Amino acid sequence: MSKGAIVTRAEDFPRWYQEVVAGAEMAENGPAAGTMVIRPWGYGIWELLVAEMDRRIKEAGADNAYFPLFIPESFLKLEADHVEGFAPELAIVTHGGGKELDEPLVVRPTSETVINSLFSKWIQSYRDLPLCINQWANVVRWEMRPRLFLRSREFLWQEGHTAHATEAEARAYALQILNDVYRATMVDVVGIPVLTGHKTPRERFAGATHTWTCEGMMGDGKSLQMGTSHELGQNFAKAFDITFSTRDGGLEHAWQTSWGASTRLIGALIMGHGDDGGLRLPPALAPAQVVVLMIKEDEAVRSAAAALVAELRAAGHRVRLDDRTETSFGRRSVDWELKGVPVRVEIGPRDLVEGNVTVVTRHTRVKETLPLAGVGTEVAAILARVGPELLAEATSFRDDRTVTVDSLDAALEAGATGFARIPMKVLGDEGEDRLGAKAMTVRCLQRADGTLAEEGDADADLVAVVGRSY
């Protein structure tokens, strides 16, 4: 049970975030430092998000599989950039079955290396390509400043790994995932208007030749990297000897991609839509889309509530009945607000006598007294509006905090509270150093019109989106 009122975003955004996570019973710290317990409300959101992403991943032609948690330490060392990128974050198993192991095992920070070692067995011929594999799994990275959903020492994610016959096919697939899986899920389902672009060399994934990213603006103006799709070139193919015989009898290294999105998306959902009352959920991700709340225990109230729950369920909505009348009405209302349930229907004996109920729309906090008869239609109409309205609100918030600038100083100012768009010609590599000194980074590079760079675009001709980030 939550504690009720929380601090406002304006007072203390990080504390507000923590209080929403705790108050909405989404997650809490596990007993081992830096680990996370995802409670049913948070996990229910994750399940819905997984289903949405998984469907799109399968439509993009990838098959799910599962790879081992433990990786021999020697494997990680096969790709030089990769091991350098991950070495400081590893958890190491040194003992198993009561004995010290001959070779320590790394708890996967990503399955890149183990999957590539298998790709080298599975891929022989051009007929085996493209090979597109996805995994839903837990991974471990030894974060020093853990925050629930945003940076925990263990998190849940999907990681896709693919191999293709040509560089062009690999690029096309990396972009298909970026656009049709990530961007589509983040915009259409999570309701966050992500910017897409590619990372500068210093921000790339360890071992990638290109990292494409989705960046969402959070309620404090900071950016959150919500998913990345990498082109790996032939780096891992060479390190792991992934070769295929070509149609005309040659032998070539495969071209690869990898891509991931994680429980971090729940952090984005909280910080992208939350208000001072707590979470605001788009119906697509709400474990309960409607709560029917009995104000008091009363025969007429109970029977009206049961009938409404049945009607709404029959209409295909996810509905909870709140009949915990031993707990105060006010406390329960605040709890459902915190949890972000899109629509609340309150049924009490007095209103019911007149045939009325109270309908509360979470994202606008509008409260209406409406006739019980026909309220199902009204609820459906509200639910249809919530997602688009949350997206529109997040979009105008982002646009209000995005400034196009033509000097580094202006970028440093605007980037502190939102996004600064600055030509890479103006920023340059040295400017990127200076951003770092102010805890800012280039979130992504785009064309001036906000579209992705195309073959032949030099980074110097693009615009850098600059901001602070999680």
For the bound state, the minimum distance from the C-beta of residue 62 to a second copy, rounded and expressed in Å, comes to 9
CA pair distance 332, 446, nearest whole angstrom: 46
When the beta carbons of 92 and 373 are compared against a second copy, the nearer one is 92
When the beta carbons of 18 and 35 are compared against a second copy, the nearer one is 35
When the beta carbons of 144 and 437 are compared against a second copy, the nearer one is 144
When the beta carbons of 23 and 467 are compared against a second copy, the nearer one is 23
Residues that bind a second copy (CB under 8 A): 28, 30-32, 35-40, 43-44, 46-47, 63-72, 75, 87-98, 104-105, 107, 114, 117-118, 127, 133, 137-138, 140, 142, 144, 153-154, 156, 324, 326-327
Backbone angles phi, psi at 70, to 5 degrees: -100, 135
For the bound state, the minimum distance from the C-beta of residue 404 to a second copy, rounded and expressed in Å, comes to 40
For the bound state, the minimum distance from the C-beta of residue 111 to a second copy, rounded and expressed in Å, comes to 10
When the beta carbons of 58 and 302 are compared against a second copy, the nearer one is 58
410: DSSP letter: H
CA pair distance 414, 464, nearest whole angstrom: 13
Whether the CB-CB separation of 75 and 185 falls below 8 Å is answered with no
Q: Which residue has the tokens 């008869």?
A: 373
For the bound state, the minimum distance from the C-beta of residue 117 to a second copy, rounded and expressed in Å, comes to 6
For the bound state, the minimum distance from the C-beta of residue 386 to a second copy, rounded and expressed in Å, comes to 23
For the bound state, the minimum distance from the C-beta of residue 368 to a second copy, rounded and expressed in Å, comes to 31
When the beta carbons of 154 and 346 are compared against a second copy, the nearer one is 154
- Residue 330 CB-half CA count within 13 A: 3
Whether the CB-CB separation of 285 and 189 falls below 8 Å is answered with yes
When the beta carbons of 137 and 184 are compared against a second copy, the nearer one is 137
Nearest to 82 by CA among 215, 232, 290: 232
Q: Which residue has the tokens 């350098």?
A: 84
When the beta carbons of 120 and 446 are compared against a second copy, the nearer one is 120
Q: To the nearest 10°, report the CA torsion of 120, 122, 128, 134.
A: -90
What six digits make up the tokens of 192?
């966050």
For the bound state, the minimum distance from the C-beta of residue 236 to a second copy, rounded and expressed in Å, comes to 15
For the chain, the C-alpha Rg in angstroms (whole number) is 25
When the beta carbons of 71 and 284 are compared against a second copy, the nearer one is 71
Can the peptide bond before residue 130 be classed as cis, meaning omega within 30 degrees of 0? yes
When the beta carbons of 90 and 379 are compared against a second copy, the nearer one is 90
Characterize the bridge pairing of strands 99-107 and 402-404: unpaired
CA pair distance 245, 60, nearest whole angstrom: 25
Beta bridge partners of 164: 255
Nearest to 359 by CA among 316, 315, 308: 308
Backbone angles phi, psi at 464, to 5 degrees: -95, 135
For the bound state, the minimum distance from the C-beta of residue 154 to a second copy, rounded and expressed in Å, comes to 5
When the beta carbons of 139 and 224 are compared against a second copy, the nearer one is 139
For the bound state, the minimum distance from the C-beta of residue 351 to a second copy, rounded and expressed in Å, comes to 26
- Cα separation of the two ends of the chain: 29
CA pair distance 155, 185, nearest whole angstrom: 19
For the bound state, the minimum distance from the C-beta of residue 397 to a second copy, rounded and expressed in Å, comes to 31
Nearest to 403 by CA among 319, 342, 463: 463
For the bound state, the minimum distance from the C-beta of residue 312 to a second copy, rounded and expressed in Å, comes to 18
Q: Which residue has the tokens 């560089």?
A: 167
Which residues neighbour 119 within 8 Å (Cβ) at sequence distance 6 or greater? 131, 161, 163, 240, 242, 254
